[in-house]
Structure 1
């Protein structure tokens, strides 16, 4: 019997020391793994050493090795969730670099966002990312999960202190994302996408 679950890559975009991203990403991965229609692949860019390697025509051997682990995982995904903070009213450089190293892996696939930060909750980073993913022929979902004042929103065990609101937002996001993932997967199967 084949596995009909959609493959969801959850990308943690921050690689800074002391980052809060893994806390938010781990919570979200837990929410996604509760669903029986998803197979979740957590990708932490801190584990992918391409953060400072600018995309070139001929990547260095160490960059090729890093991409050798990341590229097939992105390629296999039917959908993506990007977990991002906001740095200087935008998103992290390591996330931009990982996106720039890839193109076809995102074609005709949906992308959703979980953002976090201070007053804006990372939403300015999300707005920038929407433009980038449009250029990659990806479809972004309307609804996001956003944590404003994130440091006060989670307890010592990495769970939201007020769980109902974030859980409801995650469900809405995942419902939209899986709808788009299934529709686009069916469309790619029927008629391969040409960028």
Structure 2
């Protein structure tokens, strides 16, 4: 490894995309973070969009929370987006937040944890792939997806930490960390330009 290649745990930002009252997203994001923290090769942070006071309209000058969110995206090496499916798409709160950063997303990978009733959030993920392609983000092929009313989901809307979905999450994290390290090293060797 050359002296210029960054080392250490991969910084993965988990973004909880729903801000709806009574949402399942917080419990699912916590579940995913708990699964991910069992690994030693990544450092997990959670960006819960409900904890940000974003403006209803795009201001001329970014607010402190807009800058804080974009700064967190800049600091991350990779992302995992936790999203519900609303009307065959992802929440407006998530699109708003994604649009507050631009260059900060470039040349990094993203994985998805999706949930819903019946479709398991597949349509939301497919639309997010298109958005992230525009932002020069490499998206993981495999996702963690589940039905909120399916078997194995507890009263808080969480699957077990050591169950089948945790195995799927770990496999997705294997892909994400490979891409994350490769792209982190590439950005260190030569700044990403588009």
TM-score, normalising length from structure 1?
0.90
Give 1:34 deviation, angstroms: 0.7
- Consecutive unaligned residues in structure 2, runs of 5 or more: 1-5
Aligned to 1:108: 107
Q: Retained in 1: the 8 A contact 2:18–2:25?
A: yes
Q: Retained in 2: the 8 A contact 1:10–1:42?
A: yes
More helix by share: 1
Could you report, residue by residue, the CA deviation over 1:10-66 in whole angstroms, capped at 9, with x for unpaired residues?
00000000100011110000011111011111010000111x53335x13xxx5111
- Higher relative contact order, chain-length normalized (CA < 8 Å, sep 6+): 2
Aligned to 2:15: 11
- Consecutive unaligned residues in structure 1, runs of 5 or more: none
Aligned residues: 189
Could you report, residue by residue, the CA deviation over 1:80-103 in whole angstroms, capped at 9, with x for unpaired residues?
000000011000000000011111
Q: Retained in 1: the 8 A contact 2:115–2:121?
A: yes
Moved more, 161-170 or 148-157: 148-157
In the alignment, structure 1 residue 134 sits paired with structure 2 residue 167: no
Could you report, residue by residue, the CA deviation over 1:142-188 in whole angstroms, capped at 9, with x for unpaired residues?
00000123476421366425942101100110000000000000111
Aligned to 1:156: 155
Moved more, 162-171 or 123-132: 162-171
Moved more, 31-40 or 124-133: 31-40
Aligned to 2:187: 188
1:17-28 matched pairs, under 5 angstroms: 17-28=21-32
In the alignment, structure 1 residue 176 sits paired with structure 2 residue 175: yes
CA 1:151 to 1:23, structure 2 compared with 1: closer, same or farther past 3 Å?
farther
CA RMSD in angstroms comes to 1.9
